[in-house]
Amino acid sequence: MLNDDFFASDELYERTVMLPNGTEHVLHFKQVPAVEFRKFQLSEQSGDEKKQTESMARLIAASLCEPDGKPALTVEKALRLNTAATTALFAKVLEVNGFNQQGNG
C-alpha cells in the first residue's frame, strides 16, 4: 500500500512573497494534486489562447489559500493579478509543490 508520501499533502505552507516594489507579503499555499499540474500542461499546449493565458491563474487559485485552508482567490480574481504578482505567486506554487527540488522541474 502507498504511504502518504505519494499524495498531495494537506499541510499549509507559509511563504513570503516579495513584489518588485519591495513589499513583502506572508501568504499560505497548499500542494495540489498532480491532476492540477496536468490540466496546466494541457492548457499550455492546447493551442487555445484563452486556455493558455488563464493556465497560471488557475494553478495559483488552486494553491493559494487562507491560513484556515480555504481558497484565497477565485480564478476570476487570479485572472486580474498583475504580471509581477502572477510571477511571484507562481514561483511559490512551484516551490510548495516540489518543483525547485533537485530532479524536478
Tell me which residue of 2, 58, 69, 51 sits closest to 35, measured CA to CA: 58
3-state SS assignment for residue 17: strand
103 within domain boundaries: no
* Whether the Cβ atoms of residue 92 and residue 59 lie closer than 8 Å to each other: no
pLDDT tens digits along 88-103: 999 999 999 988 654 4
Q: What CATH number is given to the structural domain containing 33?
A: 3.30.2220.20
101 within domain boundaries: no
Q: What is the mean pLDDT of residues 38-55?
A: 93
Q: Is 97 exposed, middle or buried (0-12, 13-18, 19+ CB in 10 A)?
A: buried
Res. 16: pLDDT tops 60 = yes
81 within domain boundaries: yes
pTM here is 0.89
